[in-house]
Amino acid sequence: MTQEHPDRALYEQVMVPSYAPSNIIPVRGEGSRLWDQQGQEYIDLAGGIAVNALGHCHPELVSALKSQADNLWHLSNGFTNEPALRLAQKLCEMTFAEQVFFTNSGAEANEAALKLARRHAWDRVGEGKHEIVSAFGSFHGRTLFTVSVGGQDKYLDGFRPAPGGITHVPYNDIAALEAAVNEHTCAVMLEPVQGEGGIRPADRAYLQAARKLCDQYDALLVFDEIQTGVGRSGMLYSYMTYDVVPDVMTTAKALGCGFPIGAMLTTKSIGASLAVGTHGSTFGGNPLACAVGLKALDIISRPDVLDGVNARHARFVQHLEEINARHRIFSEIRGQGLLIGAELVEDWRGKAKEFVTATLEEGAMILVAGPDVLRFAPSLIIPEKDIDASMQALDRAISKRLNA
């Protein structure tokens, strides 16, 4: 029998156990606040993992979605559509890119980037130039190709054989990158800030060295900005904060602010390698997703929103430093804009998840980034009072946990 208010127990019954969701089931969201089935209120600093960049149910996004829903939902790729054209044009105006391929998720955008890199090298040089270099600790998605390029073995265990021609190097290690890149390399793929890997920002010199090596060996520099993109870094894309321009960039997560959409961006000459018939997606570039993405980009690129990200970063960091002065719990507070990580000191290594649970009990949702790091990825327009209240919740949670 179907339950009128399905509960958490039903999850074990009808869902494959690939996630371990919380016992609370949120049913409504508004701005940076969420309410569960029992009407309990939470401040959301998780943002659906850096997705809900304008909070929940932003009125302008809701109206963009509703008006598109009244007009046109889907076409085959035998037709283009106005929202897709407008969004592609806007992405090109606002970034280095000249051409766009739309997808439904981050992993698919990376899959497109990796296939483009192979195909582009194959077009010009041949099959020998197919090697992909990426970093340990990186995360690029859950398809077989993207877990193989990602630098965390646990995501590939049990799924081998993996695609070949992939080399991993330690992140932020210029010498290791120099040793790995050669004339067989078709692409170097990097996150400007490793997200899942623990909120680790690249050194500027590292990204500059990657750019130089790619130029030297005629390989594509691919930046995965799925987590760092769309305003989260304090600029529209993190590569802009580093002033290092990639050949290919992927974006997803915050692009739809919760409506599924991803995109791979590149230049016209490189994009040419995805000639008619080489790649595709049934839903990629559908009018609903693109209409929402267009409005999201329009709002987030406003200077007051981006300036607000930097102001909020400072406010979070100040709170975290005060919490740390009281409890001596963090060894480092790092990140960019509203992608902030707080690494736990030695004594609390491996226990990040416990603090997430404890903070939830105090009324705020936060994330982990690996076993040792607390991650904060709130709405880019979170009100100051919600920042203050959520940091008080974190403080209470830490006090309780430390005194338990």
Ligand X SMILES: *Cc1c(COP(=O)(O)O)cnc(C)c1O
Using an 8 Å Cβ cutoff, are 399 and 64 in contact? no
Among 52, 81, 148, 227, binds ligand X (CB under 6 A): 227
Please give the DSSP secondary-structure letter assigned to residue 31: B
Among 224, 362, 372, 395, binds ligand X (CB under 6 A): 224
Between 195 and 397, name the residue whose CB sits nearer to ligand X.
Answer: 195
List CB contacts of 162: < 8 A, sequence separation 6 or more: 144, 147, 148, 156
Among 195, 256, 341, 378, binds ligand X (CB under 6 A): 195
Q: How far is the CB of 22 from ligand X (least distance, A)?
A: 19
Between 109 and 177, name the residue whose CB sits nearer to ligand X.
Answer: 109
Among 56, 58, 140, 375, binds ligand X (CB under 6 A): 140
The two three-digit tokens of residue 272, written as one number: 């040419």
Distance of CA 99 to the CA centre of its chain: 21
Q: How far is the CB of 328 from ligand X (least distance, A)?
A: 30
Q: How far is the CB of 375 from ligand X (least distance, A)?
A: 11
Burial label, 115 (beta-carbon count in 10 A; 0-12, 13-18, 19+): middle
Residues 89-128 as x/- pattern, contact with ligand X by CB under 6 A: ----------------xxx--x------------------
Q: For residue 143, report the phi and psi dihedrals to the nearest 5 degrees.
A: -70, 165
Between 55 and 106, name the residue whose CB sits nearer to ligand X.
Answer: 106
Q: How far is the CB of 183 from ligand X (least distance, A)?
A: 28
Burial label, 156 (beta-carbon count in 10 A; 0-12, 13-18, 19+): middle
Between 279 and 401, name the residue whose CB sits nearer to ligand X.
Answer: 279
Between 244 and 398, name the residue whose CB sits nearer to ligand X.
Answer: 244
How many of the chain's residues bind ligand X (CB under 6 A)? Answer: 15
Does 139 bind ligand X (CB under 6 A)? Our answer is yes
Does 232 bind ligand X (CB under 6 A)? Our answer is no
Between 44 and 196, name the residue whose CB sits nearer to ligand X.
Answer: 196
Q: How far is the CB of 361 from ligand X (least distance, A)?
A: 26
Among 31, 47, 55, 141, binds ligand X (CB under 6 A): 141
CA 99, 58, 301, 115 torsion-angle sign: negative
**Tokens 């990602």 — which residue?**
150
Among 213, 226, 292, 300, binds ligand X (CB under 6 A): 226
Using an 8 Å Cβ cutoff, are 230 and 296 in contact? yes
Q: How far is the CB of 222 from ligand X (least distance, A)?
A: 11
Residue sitting closest to ligand X (CB): 106
Stretch that binds ligand X, among 21-29, 223-231, 284-292, 337-345 (CB under 6 A): 223-231
Between 341 and 398, name the residue whose CB sits nearer to ligand X.
Answer: 341
The two three-digit tokens of residue 104, written as one number: 């439904």
The two three-digit tokens of residue 328, written as one number: 């001596």
Distance CA 372, CA 13 (A): 31
Residues 202-221 as x/- pattern, contact with ligand X by CB under 6 A: --------------------
Does 148 bind ligand X (CB under 6 A)? Our answer is no
List CB contacts of 229: < 8 A, sequence separation 6 or more: 236, 237, 238, 249, 251, 252, 253, 254, 255
- The two beta strands, 99-103 and 131-135, are unpaired
Between 107 and 294, name the residue whose CB sits nearer to ligand X.
Answer: 107
Contacts of 80-85 spanning 24+ positions with Cβ under 8 A: 80/285, 81/285, 81/286, 81/287, 81/290, 82/287, 83/287, 83/288, 83/290, 83/291, 83/293, 83/294, 84/285, 84/286, 84/287, 84/290
Distance CA 192, CA 30 (A): 31
Between 256 and 386, name the residue whose CB sits nearer to ligand X.
Answer: 256
Residues 239-268 that bind ligand X (CB under 6 A): 252-253
Q: How far is the CB of 389 from ligand X (least distance, A)?
A: 27
Q: What is the DSSP string of 246-266?
A: -SEEEE-GGGGBTB--EEEEE
Angle at 293 between CA 292 and CA 294, to 5 degrees: 90
Binding interface with ligand X (CB under 6 A):
105-107, 110, 139-141, 191, 195-196, 224, 226-227, 252-253
